[in-house]
Amino acid sequence: MEIVRVKDYEEMSKTACNYMLRKVKELESPVLGLATGSTPEGLYRHLVDEYKKGNVSFKHVQTFNLDEYTKLDPTDINSYHYFMNKHLFEHIDIPKDQIHLPNGNASDLEDECHNYENKISEAGKIDLQLLGIGINGHIGFNEPGTPFTSRTHIVTLVESTRKANSRFFPSIDDVPTHAITMGIETIMESKEILLLVFGEMKADTLNRLTNGEVSEDFPASILHKHPKVTIIADEAACSKLVIKS
Ligand code: PGA
């Protein structure tokens, strides 16, 4: 696990953009795993800028998002479909049929989980999976206690996650109670992982990730078992990092 320390959110976003663009330019048919939340917004802004400047095309890229709420229409402003369109997809030249998110509105959600896994397998491995991290160590919507062997599945969101995400909704009662998420094993099968962490609120989380033990109580700790993880973290997120000598 390599940690790249940067000054602030802006530098984190720019560094992550360069990292992702290298993959997009290097590979013949890159498969990117994408994430939502406050963390990757700046990265997506930079990707859009690079596209608008004519520095990159996404015509050959396939994407798979980590997760989606259940029971929200893709056009709902709080859905992750909407988020991704607004921040990235509607501004770049990626063909629509190469964009994949779980359908949280499917009539058979179990079936949707299987379909999503199958689509990822058909695309081959995810070349680069982007991750944020929850304060409780969740990755995707894999909350503490999720088996490391989990595949794409339906989750009940824990109260702390609903509370954290309620900042995007009129009230906490409007935050969905369930979501579909890629499983931890699904994430771990990606060839490379890029984890972004920013802000003082995540300082304890980053220290626990770096120095804590690998345990299902802290889902992101599984990343220690992955051969190629890069963490880009800003000064505030690194402020409680204990460096072991
Ligand atoms: P955030 O969410 O980027 O909005 O902090 C990260 C996460 O919960 O995975």
Closest approach atom of ligand 1 to CA 141: 9
Which residues neighbour 82 within 8 Å (Cβ) at sequence distance 6 or greater?
A: 74, 75, 76
Per-residue DSSP letter, 139: B
Element (H, E) at 32: strand 31-34
Closest of 81, 69, 31, 61 to residue 190, by C-alpha = 31
User: What token pair was written down for 126?
Assistant: 């995810």
The tally of domains found in the chain comes to 1
Q: Is 143 a catalytic residue?
A: yes
- Would 146 be classed as within a structural domain? yes
- Would 241 be classed as within a structural domain? no
C-alpha 89 to ligand 1 mean position (Å): 20
Report, as an integer, the average pLDDT of 70-81: 94
Q: Is 138 a catalytic residue?
A: yes
Residue reference for tokens 């802006």: 10
What percentage of the chain reaches a pLDDT higher than 90?
Answer: 95
- Structural domain harbouring 50: 2-234
Residue 168: band (very low, low, confident or very high) from pLDDT cuts 50, 70, 90: confident
What percentage of the chain reaches a pLDDT higher than 70?
Answer: 99
pLDDT in tens, 140-160: 999 999 999 999 999 999 898
Q: How far is CA 141 from CA 23, 86, 136, in A?
A: 25, 21, 11
- Would 243 be classed as within a structural domain? no
Residue from 103, 105, 115, 136 carrying the catalytic annotation? 136
- Would 240 be classed as within a structural domain? no
Strands in 99-100's sheet, in edge-to-edge order, are 2-6, 229-234, 193-197, 128-131, 31-34, 62-65, 99-100
Do 217 and 142 form a contact (C-beta atoms < 8 A)? no
Beta-sheet pairing, 67-69 with 62-65: unpaired
C-alpha 181 to ligand 1 mean position (Å): 14
pLDDT in tens, 205-232: 999 999 989 999 999 999 999 999 999 9
103: domain CATH number? 3.40.50.1360
Closest of 10, 99, 103, 102 to residue 61, by C-alpha = 99
- Would 74 be classed as within a structural domain? yes
CA–CA gap between residue 101 and residue 103 (Å, rounded): 6
- Classify burial at 202, counting beta carbons within 10 Å of its beta carbon; exposed 0-12, middle 13-18, buried 19 or more: buried
Residue from 68, 112, 127, 143 carrying the catalytic annotation? 143
Q: Is 207 a catalytic residue?
A: no
CA-only gyration radius of the chain, Å: 17
- Would 242 be classed as within a structural domain? no
- State the chain's mean pLDDT as an integer: 96
pLDDT in tens, 6-62: 999 999 999 999 999 999 999 999 999 999 999 999 999 999 999 999 999 999 999
- Would 239 be classed as within a structural domain? no
Regarding the beta carbon of 39 and ligand 1, being less than 6 Å apart is answered: yes
Residue 132: band (very low, low, confident or very high) from pLDDT cuts 50, 70, 90: very high
C-alpha 134 to ligand 1 mean position (Å): 5
